[in-house]
Amino acid sequence: MLNKYARAFFTRVLTPFAAFLIRRGVSPDTVTLIGTAGVVAGALVFYPRGEFFWGTVVITLFVFSDLVDGNMARQLGRSSRWGAFLDSTLDRVADGAIFGGFALWYAGQGDDTVLCAVSIFCLASGQVVSYTKARGESIGLPVAVNGLVERAERLVVSLVAAGFAGLHTFGVPGIQHLLPVGLWIVAVGSLITLIQRVVTVRRESAEAEAAEGRPGQGSEAAK
């Protein structure tokens, strides 16, 4: 839902800014690299110290680069395989930094082994969820499923939870518990999404092989 509606809204809002950068000679790849660097810095500098509010502010400012670079490429008519590859790869880096920052906090000053493990699970499951779609498409399957918690949902839930949890340092009582709740939501939702995609790929694979008149060849044949 967020990918469909929120992305379209912010794309329209950010179009003038993308046009401004183009006039200044900035390339889409430069925006992608700067955006990722900003997200990584915000996550790994602020989150391990428990500064969730300011870390989220910094990350949010840079995370919109994911929309700006694509908008610029479309305006320039330069959409390319390289741009798509770079954007997708650096998205994984940014996601890893965010959940890695949470894990570092809970492994250190946060002193909560369970939430550290949940943060690591969110990091790993997010990477695997993305991989399942990419791998399915690479073997010729559409992977036609709208997962419960995809990247946009993971980011919104985790960043909103972290940002509000950070208000605890400004004297808002009890609000720090929003981050653990958000991480559990992302963890469970990512697991469900992973199962949805695996089931979809299994079904699409069987349908494709039936249409070709041959039985499934097992996991080794897909490697």
pLDDT in tens, 77-104: 877 788 889 988 999 999 999 999 999 9
* 221, pLDDT greater than 50: no
List Cα–Cα distances, 162 to 96, 116, 168, 199, in angstroms.
15, 14, 10, 32
Could you tell me which residues are annotated as the binding site for a CDP-1,2-diacyl-sn-glycerol? 29-32, 70, 74, 80
What is the CB neighbour count within 10 angstroms for residue 75? 14
Report the predicted TM-score, pTM, of the whole model to 2 decimal places.
Answer: 0.87
pLDDT bucket at 204, cuts 50 / 70 / 90: very high
pLDDT bucket at 112, cuts 50 / 70 / 90: very high
The pLDDT of residue 12 is 80
CA distance 58 to 154: 17
CA distance 69 to 33: 10
Could you tell me which residues are annotated as the binding site? 29-32, 66, 69-70, 74, 80, 87, 91
DSSP 4: I
Q: Which two tokens stand for residue 64?
A: 């919109």
Q: Catalytic positions, please?
A: 91
The pLDDT of residue 4 is 56
* 219, pLDDT greater than 60: no
The pLDDT of residue 179 is 97
Could you tell me which residues are annotated as the binding site for Mg(2+)? 66, 69, 87, 91
